Amino acid sequence: MRPHDEASLRAHIDACPMGDTLSEQREGFIARAGVQPSTGTWTTIGGIDTLRVGAASAPALVWFHGGGYVLGSPDTHRVMAAHLASRDVQVLLPAYPCAPECTWPAPLNAALAVLDDLDNSVALGGDSAGGHLALNAALARPGRARALALISPNTDRTGSCLTRDRDGDAMNDGAKDAALWAMVAPELGDDDPQASPHLADLRGLSPLHVEAVGTEILLDDTLILTRAAAAAGVQVSAHIAPGLMHMHALWPDALPQGAEALDRIARHIHAASP
């Protein structure tokens, strides 16, 4: 049974420890994401297994799942995708390769393979590490995406983010985030624009919408990115909801704010659609 409000969601998260081993952490993430529907069908795009949710006639949004490039999968994001599909968005969730089995740039190469195999202009999006991946894909293929929508993107490794060390985020903490990243890109410097894409040349980036919450450790990542994008002349909109936790939109059925975030993303996709 899925949690139905914030109190029951927090109790559910507390009851699903992440554990110490990689398998325990992956199982814990799946448990926290909660029971998922069987909605969607699997297809192959660019050689990458991809979960398609929503009508083929709807505007397409390629969404990269969060989980630090180590945890999660399209299956943990079916509820989120189903909500977007109910707002007339076709969601494509690639099962990109994760660490430690595959390290950077394997996820980016997979994302670009998907993007390159799609005939029409699509929107790109992602949550957390998936937001980092969507942003890197958009930067690697200038003008290819018609819109970009990110939820709490993990975009700064330079130490500029001042919220990574604080407590109170039920879904993330600084030490855990750093440990996951060390598995993903051990050879990539923190000031490399692929690691910290707010340092990249953001000029010409597609219209960008970003969602985040006030108590999460990656709040500053969002603020730093939106400031850099706006300074580069990108059309930017952002919404910061008070309280809550990282990846809050995974539970749109329990958190009205999560549902509202996805609704804003759907409107952003439709506004950019031909």
CATH of the domain at 126: 3.40.50.1820
Low-confidence stretches of the chain (pLDDT < 70) are none
Q: Give the residue numbers spanning the domain of 194.
A: 6-272
Q: How far apart are CA 186 and CA 229, in angstroms?
A: 27
Count: domains in the chain: 1
pLDDT of residue 234: 98
Q: Residue written as tokens 């699509």?
A: 122
In a domain, 100, yes or no: yes
pTM for the full predicted model: 0.98
Tell me if 94 is assigned to some domain. yes
State residue 228's pLDDT score. 98
Whether cis (ω within 30° of 0) applies to the bond prior to 100 is: yes
Helices (H), the chain: 6-14, 22-33, 78-85, 106-117, 129-140, 174-184, 219-231, 256-271
CA distance 245 to 235: 26
Exposure string over 238-274, b if 16+ CB within 10 A, otherwise e: beebeebbbbbbbbbbbbebbbebbebbbebbeebbe
Residue 234 token pair = 């990108």
Instruction: Please state the φ and ψ torsions of residue 88, each to the nearest 5 degrees.
Output: 65, 45
Residue 261 within any structural domain of the chain: yes
Residue 274's pLDDT is: 82
- pLDDT, position 119: 82
Q: Are 83 and 256 in contact (CB under 8 A)?
A: no
136-139 CB contacts, 8 Å cutoff, 24+ apart: 136/108, 136/111, 136/194, 136/197, 137/64, 137/108, 137/111, 137/112, 138/205, 138/206, 139/193, 139/197, 139/200, 139/201, 139/202, 139/205
Q: What is the pLDDT of residue 202?
A: 98
Residue 1 forms part of a structural domain: no
